[in-house]
Structure 1
Amino acid sequence: MCGIAGILTAPGKQAPHRALDVITDRINHRGPDGRGAFQDDDAGVHLGHTRLAIVDLSPGGAQPMVSQSERYVIVLNGEIYNYKDLRKQLDDEVSITWRGSSDTEVLLAACETWGLEIALSRLDGMFAFGLWDRKERELGLARDRFGEKPLYVGETNEGIVFSSQLGSILDYPGFVGIDDHDATDMFLALSYIPEPRTPFTNVWKVPAASFVRLTAGTRRAEPIPYWSAPQAALDARENAVRTRASETEIAAQIEERLSKVIGNQMLADVPLGAFLSGGIDSSLVVAMMQKQSDRPVKTFTIGFKDAAYDEAPYARAVAKHLGTDHTEVMLDWSEALSLVEKLPETYDEPFADSSQLPTRLVSAIARKSVTVCLSGDGGDEVFGGYNRHLLATRYERVRDGVPSFLRAPVGHALTAVAQPRLAGLITALGKIAGENRVRLASEKLNKIGGALRSDGDLGLYLSLVRRDEGLVKTKALEQLFGRTYAQISGDGHPLAELMMMLDTLTYLPGDILAKVDRAAMSVALETRVPYLDHHLFSLAWSLPISEKIKGGQTKSVLRNILAKHVPSELFERPKAGFGVPIESWLKGPLRGWAEANLAAFQQSNPRHAATVQEARDAFYAGKGHLHHFLWNVLMLQAWRRRYQDAFRAHAA
């Protein structure tokens, strides 16, 4: 895991003095163990790298790295898990004098031997890299299949600049970002900006599972996909039919593959551990790690003194059963609150998934003991774990059984019942079920009400993933998701699978993976995500949705595997998420801060002033579930204040 950055100038142009140093400085936190640079002024290429040494700690793994023929130069961020197998394949085909034992050297040789596109198709890993071809004077930029590792490209007066984080581009001397109103509207609705958009029209993200080829003077290129999640899902289904593999056989293959993937991801030349929440996904990862380890696996969790949001006891019970070396740190919310103003520095672009706070805190705790952590992220997207997936299986039955003219009235009725202002009822229920459970139930009821009022499958999905109660009017959001939906809607998937695929293509790279990458890398911690192995993905999609969501429970396959390692009573409970009490914060300790910043946002953003005022008034009156939207507004305002010198608004 590292940080990469680079510049490619147009013919006759020169990068500003020390520009490479400046953009590389901005990602030092991603790679504190070493630093390197490559420059070819005649070609206009400058490559920078900051190293977090994980595999081959010797100078043989240093970057930028030049190929054996000296034709190619690479900067890599990430890990290639099957590099040993690839090295054997290469040795069988060509004669290579290896200088070290790093995955970077193997990737570089693979690109030189097979070409960029074929090499990409053979990789198992998480990565983003820049590959300079000195012969063709062409820069290739590539990203892993699911978007675990980030890669930004900015258009400058001299050419292009790329980096692992947006902050490098914003620090590029003379860079001026052009505000993308559509992108920020999408952020206000979703809590993140979906790729390939960024807050600026002149900065874009290389999409997951694709690469681009850039030459001097080219500012933007059409991404070339080398893998497709929708196609992989279709191929998996066809293969299951062709081979007549039973569901029991496929489930066994899933268990075997997951175990192998976890074993591969445990390879490191530095201390390694795992995040453990006590939920199904992380518990299964840890269980399989412990089975393959000759010593107790180091596990980490955050506990909170507010019992309504404390998931630590569940993690503690799983850790005790498995015999891990468990670290649990109890924190007061004031410690989390102290990070709020620092979030724009960590995330570089607007980001408002509130679980960013505990993710950042647990990463800092883990980094004191290990350099690599495995996580359970991706299990929900691949195996059908979100409540909306379960809702979809039920909604299809309800939709078929409830006349269309009744759906909207019933939806409005459910939304009315779910209002936070029904404090007496909520309090009474809270004594029985717990405040946090009741809050989640109220939000779910509100989502169901919105679902019944929605128009079409895409409208339903957007009603469930939007965080703004539909307040922000943005055609760009519907257009972007509409294009993605169009790719998969004709494949005959049931509604739950359509949602899973939309999550995989949008929410997973834009929110979940971005959250973990920025939080962990801010403290130089590498995270690995076993569930996002593309072979495992295909196996999971070989099964029908009825095998993933069964008996009213999500992730049935993973539950069955985990039950072999951990008693079901230790993990069977309602899904709660890694949440924080944003609603009570904004009405309590953060109210003064929130009110001041909401007013500042309204003053500087007249386009949304009325919407924000409406949301603010409704929220403090106990109407609607608007705390998520207000948090989005506050995070956007905090980000703008931090980076106000880097952008300008479009001319009126």
Structure 2
Amino acid sequence: MCGIAGFVDFNKKSDLEVLKNMTDVLYHRGPDDNGYSFYSLSSHNIGLGHRRLSILDLSKHGHQPMKFDNLEIVYNGEVYNFKEIRKELEIYGYKFISNTDTEVILKAFHKWGIEAVHKFIGMFAIAIYDKEKQQLILIRDRVGVKPLYYYYKDGLFLFASELKSFHKHPNFRKNININALALFFRFGYIIQPYSIFQNTWKLKSGHYGILDLKSGNFKEVKYWDVIDFYNKPKLKIDFQEAVEETERLLKSAFKYRMISDVPVGIFLSGGYDSSTVAAILQKNRSDRIKTFTIGFYEDKFNEAHHARKIAKYLGTEHTEYYCTQKEALDIIPKLAYIYDEPFGDPSSIPTILVSRITRKKVKVSLSADGGDEIFGGYKKYTQAMKFFDLLSKIPLKEKLLKILPNMNNKVFLSKKLSSKVYTLKKLLPSKDYIDMMNRLTYYFQPEEIPKFIDTSNNSEIDLSLTCNVDNIIDKMLATDFKTYLVDDILVKVDRATMNTSLEGREPFLDYRLIEFVAQLPSSYKINENDKKILLKSIAHKYIPKDMIDRPKMGFSVPLNEWFQKELSSLLNEYFDLEKLKKVTCINAEEVHKIYSQWLKFPEVNYNKIWILLIFLMWYEEWM
């Protein structure tokens, strides 16, 4: 696991010093080694930079940039099946001097070109400089586990693992993309391919991009999409056959992700996903797998005792750490730097904490993200269908839609009634099931955002069009997979782990497993009475049902309690009207009004205060 950065400058103003600055700001992603290649050519300057976190072949043979023939590579990630690919390449006469997957990727590209990507099982963000074809090729893994940003403006092309690299280039123009900001205020994250800045993009998951160094043209090409597998005819197998094949794929995916030349651990929450990973990997092993969990002293947010029971039953070597409120609160001012574009998921706080304690004992840790999106674990899926059907039957709905936005919560004496009116206001405009699902989790509804930022040029994204799938459950799963999973969950884990120089691996996100489960009937995953049916059937083979079957808690923190106590001074500072007026892209009076309303009704919209606070801290850090 590493950090990569680089540029192609057709103005020939970028030099080696700029490259080093762009690369070394990613020290946290790779403290073990660094490397830089810089070329000044007739029509452009090109630079490739790398920070290395040594996981496979800890020797100098793993140094990057790595060269072979006409190719040069910098790479972040793991290709777990590199040994099988290496054997295939050896049949064609290729020789190897290292035991790294980097060398295998490089020579696989030499042999097969971009088609080599279809052989890779893993997570990766790759930049390859082809001196013969005069191309820079960027490749991102199918799911989007590893991040890869690029910027292209006025003859300057930049790429990097994190946006903070771009700030180290003197000609990077950090103009806020208002459309992306509107997305942030809705979702709490920015959906690919957008980023917070203009002319700055996330290379989409399952895509590669080619920059032609002769013409300067850049094109992005899709090579994999989960939608293709949801749209295939459903597999005609019974439930038991589905369980057996899913279990086989899980075992293969989990085994691959234990390949390492350094110690490996597992984040264990005690829920179905992480417990299944730990159970399958600990089964029939003589050594005890290291598991890690974070606990909170507030009971309703604490899962540590559940994880402890699972760890004891499985026989893992378990580390449990209870964080104090001060430790959690101390992270909040650091979030803007760690995530370097507005990112609102508050579970980033415990994720950073558990990464810190894990890094003290291991260099690689498996998490269980993706299980909810693949197997159907969120209650919002069934809620969305129920609420949309219910609200569609309301008489005089159109009149209500006109009246509700003008209703102010303060006219209601009852906080409970005020909360219900607020919920009705946000859900009633839903256009379809997908819109309802998103409205259940939005921070701000789309119609609220124009009140405090100028969205007159906003390019509205129709999320129902991103997933052309007929079955509504499949459509919801696919929508979450292409949005919430890649741009919230995976961003959260990548930045939290890499901030502590810990490699995070995602065993549920093996594309073979994803493709298979996508082609199963949705009833094997979720129905009105139960969720994650398929995964639970496998988990209960390893862990007693009464030990693991309980309501889903999630990885959350007591935000509203903190706002009214420990964080009140922070809120007063950032929501001061005079300070708000210095933030050029918002309507200060409207934002201050939202804060004033929260002071009167803190239970109703504290998530809005959180998302605004995150943006304001980000603005102060980077703008």
TM-score by length of 1: 0.88
CA–CA separation in structure 1 for the residues paired with 2:242 and 2:252: 15
Whether the 8 Å CA contact 1:126–1:148 is kept in 2: the answer is yes
Q: Which residue is 1:65 aligned to?
A: 66
| Counterparts in 2 of 1:574 and 1:263: CA distance versus 1, 3 Å | same
CA distance in 1: counterparts of 2:177 and 2:363, whole angstroms: 37
Q: How far off is 1:422 after superposition? A: 5.7
Q: Does 1:152 align with 2:128?
A: no
1:108 has 2:85 as partner: no
* One-letter amino acid matched to 2:433: D
**Is residue 202 of structure 2 the alignment partner of residue 205 of structure 1?**
yes
Comparing 624-633 with 125-134, greater Cα deviation is found at 624-633
Partner of 1:192: 189
Q: Which residue of 1 aligns with 2:436?
A: 460
2:8 paired residue number? 8
Q: Taking structure 1 as reference, are residues 128 and 421 closer, same or farther at Cα in structure 2, changes over 3 Å only?
A: farther
2:75 is aligned to: 76
* Correspondence for 2:470 among 492, 502, 515: 492
Please tell me the residue identity of whatever aligns with 1:521.
Answer: M
Which residue in 2 is equivalent to 1:179?
176
Match of 1:318 in 2: 310
Deviation, 1:210, is 0.2
* Aligned-partner residue type, residue 366 of structure 1: T
User: What is aligned with 1:132?
Assistant: 129
Aligned CA distance change for structure 1 residues 268 and 153 (closer, same or farther; 3 Å): same
Alignment match, 1:529 = 506
Pairing partner for 1:232 from 229, 232, 238: 229
Structure 1 counterpart of 2:607, from 628, 631, 634: 628
Q: Does 1:472 align with 2:473?
A: no
Distance 2:71 2:589 in 1: 54
Corresponding residue number in structure 2 for 1:566: 543
Matches within 5 A, 1:288-327: 288-291=280-283, 293-327=285-319
**Map of 1:643 onto structure 2:** 622
State how 1:38-49 maps to structure 2 within 5 Å: 38-42=37-41, 44-49=45-50
Deviation of 1:546 (Å): 1.6
Deviations along 1:380-432, whole A, 9 cap, x unmatched? 111111121132454476468x45656997998xx999x99967x89xxxxxx
For 2:585 and 2:338, the matched residues in 1 are separated by 28
* Alignment check: 8 A CA contact 2:262 2:363 kept: yes
Superposed CA deviations along residues 456-489 of structure 1, whole A, max 9, x for unmatched, are 234323312311245213869995531x522433
Q: CA deviation at 1:288?
A: 1.1
Post-superposition Cα deviations, 1:436-459, rounded to whole Å, max 9, x if no partner, equal xxxxxx999976874454222343
- Distance in 2 (CA, whole Å) between partners of 1:421 and 1:205 is 46
The structure-2 alpha-carbon separation of the partners of 1:218 and 1:287, relative to structure 1 and needing over 3 Å to count, comes to farther
Identify the range of structure 1 (600-609 vs 274-283) with the bigger mean alpha-carbon deviation: 600-609
In 1, Cα distance between the equivalents of 2:60 and 2:39?
22
Q: Helix, strand or coil: the match of 1:481?
A: coil
Match of 1:363 among 347, 352, 355: 355
SS in 1 for 2:587: helix
Say whether 1:502 aligns with 2:479.
Answer: yes
CA-CA distance at 1:152 after TM superposition: 1.0
Q: Distance in 1 between matches of 2:518 and 2:139?
A: 25
Q: Is the 8 A contact 1:274 1:286 kept in 2?
A: yes
Residue 327 of structure 2 is matched in structure 1 by 335
Alignment of structure 1 residues 415-434 onto 2, 5 Å: none
Amino acid at match of 2:53: L
Is the 1:247–1:543 contact (alpha carbons within 8 Å) kept by the matching residues of 2? no
Is contact 1:44-1:216 (8 Å) kept?
Answer: no
SS at match of 1:342: helix
Mean Cα deviation higher: 454-463 or 288-297 = 454-463
One-letter code of the match for 2:99? S
User: Which amino acid is 1:481 matched to?
Assistant: I
Matched with 1:439 is none
Letter in 1 for 2:90: D
2:72 is matched by which residue type in structure 1?
Answer: V
Rounded to whole Å, the distance in 1 between the matches of 2:385 and 2:457 is 25
| Structure 1 residues 375-390: aligned runs within 5 Å | 375-390=367-382
Q: Which amino acid aligns with 1:193?
A: I
**Paired amino acid for 1:8:** V
Letter in 1 for 2:378: Y
Q: What are structure 1's unaligned runs of at least 5 residues?
A: 427-441, 645-652
1:647 alignment partner in structure 2: none
- Residue correspondences, number: 612
Shift of 1:310: 1.1
3-state DSSP class of the match of 1:136?
A: coil
Measured at CA, do residues 179 and 534 of structure 1 come closer, stay the same or move farther in structure 2, by a change above 3 Å? Answer: same
How far off is 1:334 after superposition? Answer: 1.5
SS in structure 2 opposite 1:512? helix
2:567 corresponds to 1:587: no
Q: Amino acid of the residue matched to residue 435 of structure 2?
A: G
Q: Would the aligned equivalents of 1:14 and 1:158 in 2 still touch at CA under 8 Å?
A: no
Equivalent residue runs for 1:269-284 within 5 Å: 269-284=261-276
Moved more, 133-142 or 592-601: 592-601
Pair 533,612 (structure 1): closer, same or farther in 2 beyond 3 Å: same
| 2:478 is equivalent to residue 481 of structure 1 | no
Q: What per-residue deviation string (whole Å, max 9, x for no partner) do you get for residues 113-144 of structure 1?
A: 1111x111221110001000010110000100
- Matched with 1:438 is none
Separation in 2, partners of 1:387, 1:444 = 19
Q: Could you say which residue in structure 2 is the equivalent of 1:513?
A: 490
CA contact (8 A) 1:316 1:326 kept: yes
Say whether the 8 Å CA contact 1:5–1:47 is kept in structure 2.
Answer: yes
Q: Secondary structure at the match of 2:508?
A: helix
In structure 2, do the counterparts of structure 1 residues 106 and 590 end up closer, same or farther at CA, with 3 Å as the change threshold? same
Q: CA deviation at 1:519?
A: 0.6
Structure 2: which amino acid aligns with 1:492?
D
Match of 2:57 in 1: 56
CA–CA distance in structure 1, aligned partners of residues 440 and 203 of structure 2:
27
Q: Counterparts of 1:573 and 1:131 in 2: how far apart (Å)?
A: 47
> Does the C-alpha gap of structure 1 residues 328 and 526 become closer, same or farther in structure 2, counting only changes over 3 Å?
same
**Structure 2 spans left out of the alignment, 5+ residues:** none
CA separation in 2, counterparts of 1:52 and 1:420? 56
Counterpart-to-counterpart distance in 1, 2:282 and 2:424 = 40
- CA pair 611-497 structure 1, distance change in 2 beyond 3 A: farther
**Matched residue type, 2:542:** H
CA distance in 2, matches of 1:477, 1:559: 46
Cα distance per residue 1:27-76 (max 9 Å; x no partner)? 01101111112222226221111111111112222211112xx1110111
**1:6-41 CA distances to partner (integer Å, 9 max, x unpaired)?**
11121x523145011100111011011111122222
Q: CA deviation at 1:571?
A: 2.0
Deviation at 1:309, TM superposition (A): 1.2
Deviation at 1:332, TM superposition (A): 1.4
Following superposition, the deviation at residue 361 of structure 1 comes to 0.6
Q: Is the 8 A contact 1:186 1:477 kept in 2?
A: no
Q: Which amino acid aligns with 2:56?
A: V
